[in-house]
Amino acid sequence: MAKLIDGKAVSASVRAQVAEEVEQLKQQGVTPGLAVVIVGDDPASRTYVNNKKKACAQTGIYSEEYALPATTTQEELMELIEKLNNKKDINGILVQSPLPNGLDEEAVVEAIVPEKDVDAFHPSNVGRIMIGNFHFLPCTPAGIIELLRSQDIEIQGKECVVIGRSNIVGKPMAMLLLHNNGTVTICHSKTKNLKEICKRADILVAAVGKPKFVTADMVKPGAVVIDVGMDRDENGKLCGDVDFAEVEKIAGYITPVPGGVGPMTIAMLLRNTLTAARLQNGLSM
């Protein structure tokens, strides 16, 4: 039976550390500030935004919410970003995706100044991650590295397989594993012999967005299985990209859904906001 990696416990310890460091910054006259922009009324986005605001309040980070109607134009959104770029008490800017149809998400990401891009989606920050000289890491991949560290799981020299090549999770995840000296394979919808490749993995990260996609016959006995998915099964119940009940029997470590990777994403966002405040105030990291 696999050992469960408890994301709630690990994220609580990251948040406690962030809260402590925020308090130290406040004593130096700096309060980290995060602006969260939400356009339209997507219920999942609303839940995420509320959770982020709550997490900021709990760790002492100042936050502002900008809730815009779905009818907001590209021009109006860009004007708001520009205003936030210049706002001194805001260190991090986060635009909740997905944006309503008709808005250019890429242009919005590029409009945020890189030093306030706490999602690490700006091309400049993506480039920094590629070469290994970064200030911010995308929250989900960074959270996964933190989960592996919490269990003293060695990445160096390990065969790592990432299923999924999104800009938000798959690609940066592969780069972080590579920076930690893993040997990395990225798989996707066009990959041949997917099962055989996955079965080689010492560390398998599933970020494919398909419920219970990773089955027991794709997993090497004793492997570390990280499930990034947030899906619904045939009964409408929350599940991940991994068939947990079956894979748990053969994996060495596994993350549950919910309560695995999810809580880490917000914890790392808080850490990025803290880093941004330090950078912008010329304070040591």
CATH of the structural domain 30-113, one choice from 3.90.1180.10, 3.40.50.2300, 2.60.120.260, 3.40.50.10860: 3.40.50.10860
Q: d(Cα 232, Cα 135) in Å, to the nearest integer? A: 35
**Annotated binding-site members for NADP(+):** 164-166
| pLDDT top residue among 74 and 233 | 74
* Residue ranges per structural domain of the chain: 30-113, 139-262
Q: What is the rounded average pLDDT for all residues in the chain?
A: 96
Give the pLDDT confidence score for residue 199 in this predicted structure: 98
Q: In the chain, what is the greatest distance between 2 CA atoms, to the nearest angstrom? A: 56
Do 139-262 and 30-113 have the same topology in CATH?
Answer: yes
Under CATH, what is the fold of the domain 139-262?
Answer: Rossmann fold (3.40.50)
pLDDT 10s digits, 37-82:
999 999 989 999 999 999 999 999 999 999 999 999 999 999 999 9
Give the pLDDT confidence score for residue 254 in this predicted structure: 98
pLDDT 10s digits, 159-190:
999 999 999 999 999 999 999 999 999 999 99
Question: What are the angstrom distances between the C-alpha of 64 and each of 140, 190, 243, 276?
Answer: 22, 42, 39, 16
> Does the structure show a pLDDT above 90 at 13?
yes
Cα dihedral sign for 109, 111, 117, 122?
A: positive
Catalytic residue check, 96: yes
pLDDT 10s digits, 185-204:
999 999 999 999 999 999 99
Q: d(Cα 253, Cα 53) in Å, to the nearest integer? A: 31
Predicted TM-score (pTM) of the model is: 0.95
**Annotated binding-site members:** 164-166
Task: Please answer whether residues 59 and 112 qualify as being in contact, where contact means their C-beta atoms are separated by less than 8 angstroms.
Answer: no
Catalytic residue check, 119: yes
Task: Given the residues 6, 87, 88, 119, select the one marked as catalytic.
Answer: 119
97 burial via Cβ count (<10 Å: 0-12, 13-18, 19+) = middle
pLDDT 10s digits, 81-90:
999 999 999 9
Catalytic residue check, 171: no
Task: Find the angle CA(268)-CA(44)-CA(166) to the nearest 5 degrees.
Answer: 55
Q: d(Cα 24, Cα 281) in Å, to the nearest integer? A: 14
Give the pLDDT confidence score for residue 285 in this predicted structure: 66
Q: pLDDT confidence of 236, banded at 50, 70, 90?
A: confident
